[in-house]
Chains A and B, each alone.
Chain A
Amino acid sequence: MADALLTLDKVTAGYGDAVVLHGISLTLPENGSLALLGRNGVGKSTLLLTIMGYTQMRGGRVAWRGEDVSRVAPHKRATRGIGWVAQEREIFPSLTVEENLTVAARAGTWDLPAIYKLFPRLDERRRNMGNQLSGGEQQMLAIARALMTNPALLLLDEPFEGLAPVIVDELIHAMKLLLSDRRVAIILVEQHTDIALELTADAIVLERGTVAHAAPSATLAKDTATLERLVGLRVAATP
C-alpha cells in the first residue's frame, strides 16, 4: 500500500509547558478531505499549527508521504507541499494583492490566471495593498495565496468565520471546485458543522486535545446525538 499523504501517530504537542494535544492519531490519503470539529479551545487550531511545525512536539510523529517530518522547520514543510490558511488570514499589509499571491508562489497548475478565474474579485483588487481589503476578500486572498504555492494539502482554519452569507456561498462554491479537481487534499477546521461535513469525506471530533469520535462525514451529519454531545447546540439547530 502506498504511503498516506499525512499521518499523525500519537502526537502530543503544545506551547512551552502547556500540552494541548494528547496522543492524536489520524491518516489522510492523497486528495482526501477531513473535517476537524469540536468546541472552542479543544485544540483544533493547535492541531493545524502542529502539522505546520509551529508547536513543541512532546511525543509521537508527523509523517508526510511516509517521511518523518516531526523535526522539519515550518518553511520546509511548506515547500514539501503543505499550504496553511491561518485563522486570522494574516495578509501581508505592505504587499499588494498580487504580491501577496506571487511572493511565495511555486510552479504548478495554480498560477495567477487560474487564481483570478477562481476569485475574480482578487483580479479587480490586484493593485490594492493587502490591508485595503474587506474580510471576505482577505479570506479569498489567504486561500489563493496558499494555492499559489501549489500544495498537496491545504489546511483551512475557520475560513468562513465572521463573513457575510453571500461571501460564504462564494467561498463554498470555490472550495467545491477545488475538491472536485481532486488535486489537493484539505483539512478543514470549521464552526459551521453542516458546511464542514457537506464539503468533506471524513470527519474527526476533538475533545480536550484527543480524538473523541471519527466517522465518515455523511454518517456523522446524520448522527445528531454525537454532534450534540461533542460539538454543542449550534448543530442541533441545523437540519
Chain B
Amino acid sequence: MLPPVFGVLFDGIAYGMLLFVLSVGLSVTLGLMNFVNLAHCAFAMLGGYVTVTLVNELQWPFLATLPVSFLAAAAASVVLERLFYRRLYRASDLDQVLLTIGFAFISVAAAAYVFGTIQQPIQTPPFLRGSTGFLGLGLSNYRMFLVGIALVVTLLLVAGLEYTRFGAQVRAAVDNQRMARGLGIDVDRTFAVTFALGSGLAGLGGSLAIDIVGLDPSFAFTYLVYVLIIVSVGGLGSIVGSFAAACLIGISDVAGKYYAPELGAFLIYLVMVAVLMWKPAGLFGRR
C-alpha cells in the first residue's frame, strides 16, 4: 500500500507531461531560432477546438482527432510563419512580442466569437475514463495515457534532433547560419519545418489538455504563463530541460493546491524564482 503522497506525485507528473507537450515547441523556437512566439498557446488552443469540433459536431472518436489537431496547428503556424514571422527573425524582441501577442489576442477574440466563452465539454473513449488500482492508489487512466504520449514525444524529439540528418541540419543552422547556407542547407526551410513541428505539438497538447483543464478562449493566455515558466526554468532550447521543468512545475502546482491551498497557484512562481536565482539560465540552459 502506497501513501496518498504518491497519488499527488502521479497527478503532478501527469500534469507536468501535459505542460511538456504544450511547451516543448516554444522551447525550440525560442532557444534554437531566437524567436519570441507569444502566440504559441494560440496554436495549442486551435488544436483543442479542432478536437472539440470533430468529436462533438462530427462524432469522430477522440483519438482520431489528435493527429488532425497536430496537423491543423502545424499548418496554421506555417501560414503565419511564411506571411509574418519570417520577416521578424532579425527584428528586436519587442517587435516579435508585439506581433505575436497581437495574434494571441486575435485568437482569443476569434475563439470567443465562434465557440462562445463557455467551457467546451469533451467525450473521451471509455477505456480512458475511470481509474486503475495500483498498490492502493487509484491512477487515472487518462493521466497514464498522457504520461505515455509525453514519453513517446520526448523519445521521438531527442532521436530526431540527435540522430537524423534533418536534426543535424537544424543544429548546424543554429550553430552557424552563414556556414550552413554556404554548404547548401536551406536554413529558412529547416527553420519553418522546425517551427511547424513545435506548433503541431502545441496543438496536440491543446487537445490533450481539454479533459484535464478544460478549454475556453482564455486558454491562449492562461497556459502561456505556464509555458513561459517551463521554458525559462528548463533552459532555452533544451528538450530534456523542458521535460524536467515541466515535471517540476506540474508536481509543484498539484502538490501546492493539495497540501497548501492558501498558497495555491503561487507555489509555481516561488519555484521559478528559486530555480532562476540558483541557475539564471535555467536547469539545462547554456546561456
Contacts and interface: CB of A to CB of B under 8 A. Distances in A.
B175 A92 contact: yes
A78 B165 contact: no
Interface stretch (A95-103, A192-200, A205-213): A95-103
Central interface residue in B174, B179, B180, B185, by most chain A CB within 10 Å: B179
Nearest to A75: B181
Contacts of B171: 92, 94-95
Contact of B184 (A90, A102, A106): A106
Given A92-B179, A95-B168, 20 more contacts: A52-B182, A74-B182, A78-B184, A83-B183, A84-B183, A92-B176, A93-B175, A94-B171, A95-B172, A95-B175, A100-B172, A102-B165, A103-B169, A103-B185, A104-B172, A104-B183, A104-B185, A106-B184, A146-B183, A149-B184
A31 B168 CA distance: 31
Nearest to A100: B172
B97 interface: no
Contact of B178 (A54, A79, A100): A54
B182 A94 contact: no
A103 B181 contact: no
Given A90-B179, A103-B165, A104-B180, A75 B185 contact: yes
16 contacts: A54-B178, A74-B181, A75-B181, A75-B182, A76-B184, A86-B182, A90-B178, A92-B171, A94-B174, A94-B175, A95-B175, A99-B168, A103-B168, A103-B169, A104-B183, A145-B183
B93 interface: no
A99 to B, nearest CB: 5
A73 interface: yes
B187 interface: yes
A85 to B, nearest CB: 9
If over half of B's interface residues share one DSSP class (helix, strand or loop), that class is named, otherwise mixed; here it is helix
B186 interface: yes
Contacts of A84: 182-183
Nearest to B179: A90
Central interface residue in B169, B171, B172, B182, by most chain A CB within 10 Å: B182
Contacts of B179: 86, 90, 92
Complex A-B, nearest 3 residue pairs according to Cβ-Cβ distance, in ascending order: A78-B184, A104-B183, A90-B179
A149 B172 CA distance: 15
Nearest to A145: B183
Contact of A75 (B165, B175, B176, B184): B184
A19 B87 CA distance: 26
Contacts of A83: 183
Contacts of B165: 102-103
Interface of B: 165, 168-169, 171-172, 174-176, 178-187
Interface of A: 52, 54, 73-76, 78-79, 83-84, 86, 90, 92-95, 99-100, 102-104, 106, 145-146, 149
A86 B179 CA distance: 8
A93 B179 CA distance: 12
Contact of A78 (B174, B175, B176, B181): B181
Nearest to A98: B168
Contacts of B182: 52, 54, 74-75, 78, 84, 86
Nearest to A106: B184
A58 B165 CA distance: 37
B183 A149 contact: yes
Contacts of A92: 171-172, 175-176, 179-180
Contacts of B178: 54, 74, 90
Central interface residue in A73, A95, A100, A104, by most chain B CB within 10 Å: A104
B183 A103 contact: yes
A79 B169 CA distance: 15
Contacts of B172: 92, 94-95, 100, 103-104
Nearest to A89: B179
A102 B164 CA distance: 11
B164 to A, nearest CB: 10
A146 B184 CA distance: 10
Contacts of B180: 75, 92, 104
